[in-house]
Structure 1
């Protein structure tokens, strides 16, 4: 019965009704455009957010790797500086003739005239 009523009702063809219909059509178009713009904006914003977050995460990982590498290299530098200081001390000692003589007698078993060398093993080397 509701369908019969719609068929029997006629529309008024006035300029006001036409303006209202045009306004409804225009507002529907504007809503569609606004929804499209908002959806494009949200897609663009989400893509931009994803790129920024992934870039931040990758840079953080690279920074942590560089800091770990720096720490490792700092330890190596400290070790090398210790070795350098020991080598400089050896250079100073090797300029002394008495030290060279003691070193030759100890390491290479050279002896002075009428000197006897006894080799006593260290307890640390046996263990």
Structure 2
């Protein structure tokens, strides 16, 4: 019999009392629910704005880092090129000094163009480079 009573009590609906207190509590609950919904929406919008700003800042920093690394590589390449040019400039200055020397010019002209002074006879001999090339081939 007790099971019949439990079923009956479960099936009965209790009607709520509609007085001022109950209505004010219901209105307060609706207001709190509405406030939570609006708060959630504001926090969502604020979170999206922060996320977008973070993405923008991150992409800007990444792009600047890439640009800086490219500029650093270009700078290193330019420094290497500058060193080469400075070495070449030193060599050219030395060559200018040598070319201003008449004895060097005469020696260079005799060597390169087979010019001779009066009474000189020119004999050509193989270059040392050709001898060096021949030596390894004989060893093998």
TM-score in terms of structure 1 length? 0.87
- Which residue of structure 2 lines up, in the alignment, with residue 75 of structure 1? 80
- 1:89-113 deviation digits (Å, cap 9, x = unpaired): 1111111111111111111111111
- Which residue of structure 2 lines up, in the alignment, with residue 13 of structure 1? 18
The unaligned stretches of length 5 or more in structure 1 are none
Q: CA deviation at 1:4?
A: 4.4
Distance 1:87 1:22 in 2: 96
- Which residue of structure 2 lines up, in the alignment, with residue 51 of structure 1? 56
Correspondence for 1:60 among 48, 65, 68:
65
> Who wins on radius of gyration, i.e. which is larger?
2
Please give the secondary structure, in 1, of the residue aligned with 2:12. helix
Does residue 1:31 correspond to 2:36, yes or no?
yes
Name the Cα RMSD after superposition: 1.8
Please give the secondary structure, in 2, of the residue aligned with 1:53. helix
TM-score in terms of structure 2 length? 0.79
Structure 1 stretch 30-39 or stretch 50-59: which is displaced more? 50-59
Distance 1:62 1:122 in 2: 52
